[in-house]
Each structure stands twice: as C-alpha cells, then as structure tokens.
Amino acid sequence: MAPSYLFNLKVQKVEQICLFELSWGQGQRLTTQVEYPVALTQLYQDWRRAYMNFYQSQPLSQPLRGRCIDGGVAIAPNNWQALLFKAEANLMYEFNHWLQSAELYKIRSTIAAAKVSDKIETVKISLIQIFLTCAPIELDRFPWEAWELGAEFGAQEIQIIRAPLNVGTPQTLQKQVNWRPRILAVLGDDSGLNFQGERNALKSLFRVADVQFVSWQPQQTSLQVVEQITNAIADSSWDILFFAGHSDESEITGGEISVAPGVSVAISQIAQKLSAAIERGLSVAIFNSCSGLNIANTLIDLGLSQVIIMREPIHNSVAIEYMVKFLQGLAKHLDIYESMLEARRYLHTEKNFAYPSSYLVPSLFCHPGATLFRIPPSKSWQQRLRYYLPSPVEAIVIVSTLTLSILTPVQELLLDGRLYVQAAYRNVTKQIPTQTAPVALVQIDTESITKGKLSDSELLPMNRKYIASLIERAHNLNTNVIGLDFVIDTPQKNIPEADKKLSITVQRAVHQKI
C-alpha cells in the first residue's frame, strides 16, 4: 500500500490580506500573501440567507437543530430553492477562483506533487492529508472541504481536515481501538425534533459496537439532568461521544448544548468531566446539531482527538439523513473522514434537490497529527461469527416462532386465520362466482364397507381395489370432476393386484375426460 503524506496549512486574515503558510516533512515551509476578495464575504452572507430561508420556509417535518435563527422569520414566499442553488454557485465559483489565484500556485503544486523519499527510492503517494487551520472564525465558516485542490494537476485524493488555531492540551495517547468500541449517545432537548432515525442507526451498530443511550426524563430537575449526563460521560470508558439535539455557538463558553427543554450547558461547564473521559480513552465526539465551530475548537483544545460538527444550522430531516449514512460508513470499517465524505457525497448526489447545500455543512476537526478513527474489522472467527448471529431479541423471536409453528393447535389457528382472510378478501373484491357447479360430498360409511366385504386389515390402509370401484362408480354417473381424500403411501403387499386395479381405473377415467 502506497504511503500517505501530511501537510499543515494555516490561513490567517489580517485586514484585507490573507497569509497562507504550508509546512510539511522535515521543517519545509512555504508562505505567500493573497488579497482577500471583498465580494466573498457578501456572497457567503447571501448564500447563508438563502440557506436559512429555504429550510425555514419549506414544509419539512421538523425545524432546525438550533435556537438562533437569523432575524427569526423567513422572508415572504419566494422560490428559495432556486435562489439557494444560485447563491451556492456564486459562492463556490468566487471561493475556488480566489484559491486558484497565481499567488497560491506554488502551494497548490507542492501539495499535488507530494512524494515520500527514502534512501532507496522516491515513491508517489496515494493519499494526501491537509490539516487546515483558519483564523479568524469567519474564514472557518467557508466550505474548505469543497476546495477543488489538485484538480488542475490531476492529483490523487486530497483530504482536507480542520485543526483549531489554539491547542492547549497535548493529545492523549490514543489507545488501540477495541474491535467493539463503546459509544455513549446523549440525546438532548428534542423540542420539535425527532431522534428515532438516529436511535435506529446507532442500534444497527450492535454487531460492531456497544451503544448506551442517556437522555433527560420529564420528572427530572435541571440539576438532575445535567448530573446524569455528565456523570455518564466521566464514569466509564468510552471511545465515542455522540450528541443529538439543539446547540449554538458561544466563543466565551466554548459553545452550548441543550440537554433538556429549557436546560442548556456550556462546554466550559463540563470541561472537567470531558477531560476525565479523555483520560479514560475518549477520542471521538460527534455532534449532530447546529453551529458547532466553537464546540469543535474547544474539544480539540481539551485534548480530544477528532470531532465531527455542523458549521451551520442544520435541519432535523437533513441531520437524520446525514447521520444514518455516516454511521453506515463506520459500520463498513471506513475511517471517520471517509464516512463523513461518503455521507456528504450522498447529500450532494442523491439528496441535493430535496436538501440543497446541506453537503457543504459537515466538517471534521482533528488534533494535529491524529490517526483517523475507524472501527477495526474482526480478526478471530468468533468475532466474525458474532457479526452474523442475531441479537438476543432477534434470537428469542426466531426460537419462539419456530417453536410455536410446530404445535398443531397453532398451525390450525394460523390456517383458520388464513382461510378467513382469503374468504373476506374474495368477498370484498367480488371474486365469488355467480354460477356454481353442484358438488356432492360422499362419505364412506359402514354400509358401504360391508357391501365391499372389506376386512379390518383392509381399512387402514384402505384397500385400493375398493377405491378403484368408487372411481368407476362415479365415472358411470357421468361426473366431470372426481376428488378423493385418501392417504396413499407405500404399495400394498398383501393385495398386490389392488394397486394395479386402481391405476387402470384412474387412467381409463382420465382418458375419457372425466
């Protein structure tokens, strides 16, 4: 497998000048200055306004996962979808046009031509990672993940991963990820939201991960809610912290999350609990909520390895669609960036008409030099077998169903129910024929057996010569259809000519079109 290569790119804006600084390898460094286009800020604001108005004005099932809405009320009805498509096109054109400027050519070409050298040979690499740091936060709001970097050189895949400007805590030594990582899913304030899609997606990971849910309860006080969630974070060893609900930016407090109706918690308030969790092995946080830039910066600063956030407000329906696809990627053992990329592509290619511009919103923040998280594939045959085995609940259902299905009373009950449903369906759909042929049901009685001179040994099983005489009698009565209800298994050895007689009688009746 060809090696990957890592670059660090820092972009800082001072007044109307942006300083780009690229560093890599053994202290290599490139710097350049580029004038910041004034129009870019206005185009971003136009795009964000169209984005907000579209998702507030559409008849979608749930609202945004944030409390702060620009101005609060959507502008009167317009074709916001068309305006949003146009605003996105204008923003992305100006953004990529700026990044394709001549002043940045040396940086772009250096990244695209990355090679790794040793004493023997120089090898072309297959994967380039760029850890991107932006300052101030206004630059961080741009969709850097959509930068068409390397396209002009036909370069291989380039991953753009964000890193905060300030990192005060060294990254905790990343423990080896268990085959079954442990996930704590915190479901916060669900006012106007629906977490069922995320619940189901998280539960579907049971074959590759252990998931525990914690959420507020109606009878709890605000203090009890906060203590329940923070204690759950710190009191056990987790690999991933997942949060769904309302959140918002707050530079002073490091971002805020709403854990229950009317109960918000600043990240700075629970920093001590989070640090304890990080020391126990917590390495990844996933926030499926609005406006998470400050949250990501704060958590990486605390020493967390990787954080997935939404930079902008996100609609509840979009959040669910995105997270389901993202978790499916993790379940397939993709790393956290590949899972995010697959989910973003899904929103862009499959859902862009329903959820325009939503693919631009997710971002991955990493501690510089962090190894991207992935759920490792199983190694032993026991682990592989566990992947295919049903869950305990599924096993109980399967065993119960099989046990009941072999009981005769249950079989008869199911058959009666099936016949009743079929009869009702035929009655409702008028499939009952108006003209019916006469049907005569004939039962073999004692008198008939006596006349046939059958001994007790010829009753079970029934003498087939006697059966042949019944068919012949029905044939003589000009019967069009003859139906018999007998169990016929092995040949009768005690009356060998009986089987031959029955065969001849049936053949003759068939040939004469009974």
Please write the tens of the pLDDT for every residue from 328-337.
Answer: 999 999 999 9
Higher pLDDT: 175 or 143? It is: 143
Residue 130: closest CA among 153, 152, 107, 151: 107
Looking at residue 64, its amino acid is L
Rounded mean pLDDT, 376-389: 62
E strands along 289-340, which residues? 306-310
pLDDT of 74: 44
CA distance 242 to 361: 18
Rounded mean pLDDT, 506-512: 75
CA distance 40 to 96: 10
Name the maximum alpha-carbon separation found in the chain.
117
- At residue 14 the predicted structure's pLDDT band, cuts being 50, 70 and 90, is very high
Residue 402: closest CA among 386, 394, 421: 394
CA distance 133 to 130: 9
- At residue 363 the predicted structure's pLDDT band, cuts being 50, 70 and 90, is very high
Q: Is the pLDDT of residue 76 over 50?
A: no
Q: Which residues contact 342 (CB under 8 A, 6 or more apart)?
A: 325, 326, 328, 329, 334
Q: Are 174 and 305 in contact (CB under 8 A)?
A: yes
CA distance 431 to 107: 76
Q: Which residues contact 472 (CB under 8 A, 6 or more apart)?
A: 505, 509
Question: For 439, which DSSP code?
Answer: -
CA distance 283 to 303: 8
Tokens 């479901």, residue located:
187
Q: Is the pLDDT of residue 255 over 60?
A: yes
Q: Are 277 and 238 in contact (CB under 8 A)?
A: yes
- Report residue 246 as tokens: 């309302």
- At residue 48 the predicted structure's pLDDT band, cuts being 50, 70 and 90, is very high
Higher pLDDT: 396 or 40? It is: 40
pLDDT of 232: 96
pLDDT of 150: 81
- State percent of the chain over pLDDT 70: 82
Q: Are 37 and 94 in contact (CB under 8 A)?
A: yes
CA distance 182 to 203: 12
Residue 31: its H or E element: strand 28-35
- Report residue 224 as tokens: 């009890």
pLDDT of 136: 96
Residue 479: closest CA among 429, 444, 513: 513
Residue 318: closest CA among 84, 51, 87: 51
- Report residue 377 as tokens: 């594939």
State the alpha helices, DSSP H only, in 58-186: 80-99, 105-112, 137-140
CA distance 490 to 276: 77
72: left (phi over 0), alpha (psi -120 to 50) or beta: left
C-alpha R_g of the chain: 36
pLDDT of 117: 54
CA distance 2 to 402: 51
Q: Are 20 and 29 in contact (CB under 8 A)?
A: no
3-state secondary structure of 206: helix
48-59 burial: b if 16+ Cβ within 10 Å, else e: bbbbbbbbbbee
pLDDT of 34: 97
- State percent of the chain over pLDDT 90: 56
Q: Is the pLDDT of residue 288 over 80?
A: yes
Task: Please tell me the least confidently modeled range out of 131-140, 341-350, 445-454.
Answer: 445-454
Rounded mean pLDDT, 219-242: 95
